[in-house]
Amino acid sequence: MNIRDAQESDLPAIVEIYNAAIPTRIATADLEPITVESRYLWFKQYHPDKRPLWVLEVANEGGKNEEDKEIAAWISLTSFYAGRPAYSATAEISIYIAPQHQRQGYGKHLIKRLIEFCPQLGVTTLLAMYFDHNIGSQRLFEGLGFQPQGHLTNIAILDGQQRGLIIAALRV
């Protein structure tokens, strides 16, 4: 397992992992798949020293060489509230894990690593936002010390069903 800064060449894998989450209606409010091209500007907003985008690589089955690795997950930090200066020490976590790599501890590992890295980034508060029916994310974040701070009920409509959003925070 290797965690590293994402490269532009990782964008197809990042998009593939994200798109795999869309049909589940559990982890994203996007309703249709996105394209690599639509994510180039999004990708450019990340900077390793302030708002990182990391990928977690794992060895393919039977793989022994560097090129035998695949991206299993990614995690990023985004500036809160459109990056307004008073909130510069607050950032929102986004994390996505490829379906075939879920429930292997990668999410917990990535978030723990990011929490440890926060002082170097000048981040003192982490926010996690997830649908109220996303029990996996709720357990993951609360298990790492995030505390629910708000619940926006019936804020999203997914396939005709109203869903709420939990906002959880961790003081680093």
- Single pTM value for the model: 0.93
Mean pLDDT of 96-100: 97
Contact 74, 121 (CB under 8 A): no
3-state helix, strand, coil in the chain (%, to 5): 35, 35, 25
> For 107-130, what is each residue's pLDDT tens digit?
999 999 999 999 999 999 999 999
* 15 vs 137: CA distance, rounded Å: 20
> For 10-37, what is each residue's pLDDT tens digit?
999 999 999 999 999 999 999 999 999 9
Which CATH fold would you assign to the domain 2-128?
Aminopeptidase (3.40.630)
In terms of Cα–Cα distance, which of 2, 169, 27 is closest to 102?
27
Which pLDDT score, from 0 to 100, does residue 82 have?
87
> For 67-81, what is each residue's pLDDT tens digit?
689 999 999 999 999
Count of positions (residues) in the chain? 172
Domain locations in the chain as residue ranges? 2-128
Which pLDDT score, from 0 to 100, does residue 83 have?
87
Which pLDDT score, from 0 to 100, does residue 138 have?
97
